[in-house]
Amino acid sequence: MENLIYLEYAVAGIIRYWLLNSDYKQTIGDRVEISTPLNSWRKVTEGAYLYNEGINPYVGDNFHETPLGLTVFDKMISHIPQWIGIIFIVCDLVTAHVLYHTAQIFMSELVEKDKYAKDTEALLLKQSDLVLPPVYVASAYLFNPYIIFSCVGQTTTVFANLCLAFTFLLMIKGHRLACCSVLALATLQSLYPATLLVPASIYLAQAERTSSLEGRQSLRASSFILTAVTFIAALLLLLYISSELAGGWEFLHATYGFILNVPDLRPNVGLFWYFFTEMFENFRLLFIYAFQINAALLYLVPLTLRLHGEPMLLAASLTALMAVFKSYPSLGDVGFYLALLPMWKHLFNYMQQGFVVGCFFLITSVMGPIVWHLWIYSRSANANFYFGVTLAFATAQIFLVTDILFAYIKREFSLYHGLHREVNGKTTKLVLE
Beta-bridge partners for 422: 427
pLDDT for the residue numbered 185: 96
Task: Find the distance separating the first CA and the last CA of the chain, reported in whole Å.
Answer: 40
pTM over 0.85: yes
pLDDT for the residue numbered 411: 85
Mean pLDDT across the chain, nearest whole number?
89
Q: What are phi and psi of 37, to 5 degrees?
A: -60, -20
pLDDT for the residue numbered 31: 93
For residue 118, give the amino acid letter. Answer: K
For the chain, which ranges sit under pLDDT 70?
1-2, 111-123, 209-220, 418-433
Residue partners of 142: CB distance under 8 A and separation at least 6: 8, 9, 11, 12, 92, 93, 96
Three-point CA angle 381, 386, 387, nearest 5°: 130
pLDDT for the residue numbered 211: 38
pLDDT for the residue numbered 96: 96
Tell me the per-residue pLDDT of 212-249, one tens digit each, with 9 for 90 and over.
Answer: 444 445 456 788 899 999 999 999 999 999 999 998 89
pLDDT for the residue numbered 126: 74
pLDDT for the residue numbered 210: 42
pLDDT for the residue numbered 280: 78
pLDDT for the residue numbered 220: 67
CB atoms within 10 A of CB 22: 12
Rounded to 10 degrees, the C-alpha dihedral 59/62/67/70 comes to: -140
pLDDT for the residue numbered 120: 63
Half-sphere exposure of 319 (CA within 13 A, CB side): 28
Separation between Cα atoms, residue 137 and residue 312, nearest integer Å: 14
